[in-house]
A = this chain, B = another copy of it.
Amino acid sequence: MTDFAATKAMFHLPEGMIYLDGNSLGPLPKATEARIAKTVTDEWGEMLITGWNRAGWMARPTDDGDRIGRLIGAEPSHVVLGDTLSIKVYQALAAAIDLVPERKVILTDSGNFPSDIYMAEGLTKSLGRGHELRVVAPEDVADHIDDDLAVMMLTQGDYRTGRLHDMAALTQKAHAAGGIAIWDLAHTAGAMPVDLIGCNVDFAVGCTYKYLNAGPGSPAFIYVAPRHIDHCQPALSGWLGHEKPFAFDLEYRPGTGIERMRVGTPSVLQMAALDSALTIWDQVDMQALRAASIALTEQFIADVEARCPMLTLASPRDPQQRGSQVSFAFEHGYAAMQALIARKVVGDFRAPDIMRFGFAPLFIDKADVTKAVDVMADVMTNRLWDNPVYKQVARVT
Contacts and interface: CB of A to CB of B under 8 A. Distances in A.
A279 interface: no
A118 B217 contact: no
Copies in the complex: 2
A264 B85 contact: yes
Given A86-B238, A86-B239, A216 B268 contact: yes
A84 B114 contact: no
A248 B126 contact: no
A19 interface: yes
Interface string A184-222: 000000000000000000000001010000011111100
A215 B21 contact: no
Given A90-B236, A265-B85, A24 B49 contact: yes
Instruction: Place the interface of chain A in its size category.
Output: 35 or more
A250 B94 contact: no
Interface in A337-396: 346, 348, 350-351, 394-396
A123 interface: yes
A125 interface: yes
A249 B118 CA distance: 9
A291 interface: no
Nearest to A252: B118
A84 B220 CA distance: 13
Given A14-B45, A121-B252, A215-B268, A83 B94 contact: no
Interface string A57-85: 11000000000000000000000000111
Most chain B CB neighbours (cut-off 10 Å) among A53, A122, A350:
A122
Nearest to A19: B48
Contacts of A49: 21, 24-25, 346, 348, 397
Contacts of A45: 12, 14, 27-28, 33
A174 interface: no
A273 interface: yes
Contacts of A215: 40, 44, 268-269
Contact of A121 (B83, B251, B271, B346): B251
Interface stretch (A127-135, A149-157, A165-173): A127-135
B122 A252 contact: yes
Most chain B CB neighbours (cut-off 10 Å) among A216, A235, A249, A397:
A216
B135 A250 contact: yes
A24 B49 CA distance: 7
A14 B46 contact: yes
B234 A122 contact: yes
Given A84-B263, A264-B86, A115 B44 contact: no
Nearest to A52: B397
A51 interface: yes
12 contacts: A14-B45, A19-B48, A25-B44, A40-B273, A53-B395, A98-B126, A117-B252, A118-B252, A126-B235, A127-B128, A246-B396, A267-B267
Given A86-B236, A119-B238, 4 more contacts: A49-B346, A98-B126, A115-B242, A127-B127
